[in-house]
Amino acid sequence: MSTELPEAAVPPPTGSIGSSQAPTRRTFIATTTVVGGAVVAGGVIGGPLFVDDEVAAAEAVSQSRVSLTVNGTGRTVTVDNRTSLLDLLREHFGLTGSKKGCNAGACGACTVLVDGRRVNSCLTLAVRLEGAEVTTIEGLADGDELHPLQQAFIDEDAFQCGYCTPGQIMSGVGCIKEGHTGSPEEIREWMSGNICRCGCYVKITRAVEQTAGRK
């Protein structure tokens, strides 16, 4: 007769190395929860993870003082080093004529003149313009007398919604100063960075051509 016991009836081994009861899943989760809570509590009670002095120093380094001339008026301001010229003009100086279109330098709605050159102000860091002369759409007119290109835009009806118009006019002024007005094709080429979603390109070209004295 066989003396083997059924598997279910075999008693657990005793006296072996693994005789101590292994932690259950519930015990393991409870233990890790308690330990994790102690670590978090220690971080809160013991103080911040970063030294306050280091944070303050980092914040101080992230700002700079810049002096520039905007539309003939000297300005001095302390700004975050990441501030764009567009945000400086709109948010700090209240000059909202320059528009934030794509904010990626692709539409030209934010075009202004810096030292006579046209730039996308959304891509230009304000802190790099120490001593620069900036001209925006607000600085073109002489009192109640419009700039010739502003008047030409009215005469040629070269706008519809008007959102891109400030950038178009500033780019047109730069285009004329650069001498890129030899033909309608040349004007379109050198104004191609300014997008008009209303499609007034023909009239915009005529306005620039008129101002350049070719019509």
Check residue 19 and give its pLDDT: 47
pLDDT digits (tens, 9 = 90+) for 71-93: 999 999 999 999 999 999 999 99
Check residue 88 and give its pLDDT: 98
CB contact set of 174 (below 8 Å; sequence gap of 6+): 111, 113, 116, 117, 118
- The secondary structure of residue 1, as a DSSP letter, is -
By C-alpha distance, which of 106, 149, 101, 98 is closest to 126?
98
- Digits of tens for pLDDT over the chain (215 positions)? 545 545 545 555 554 444 445 667 666 666 666 555 544 455 555 555 555 776 666 666 699 999 999 999 999 999 999 999 999 999 999 999 999 999 999 999 999 999 999 999 999 999 999 999 999 999 999 999 999 999 999 999 999 999 999 999 999 999 999 999 999 999 999 999 999 999 999 999 999 999 998 65
C-alpha to C-alpha distance for 81 and 102, rounded to whole angstroms? 21
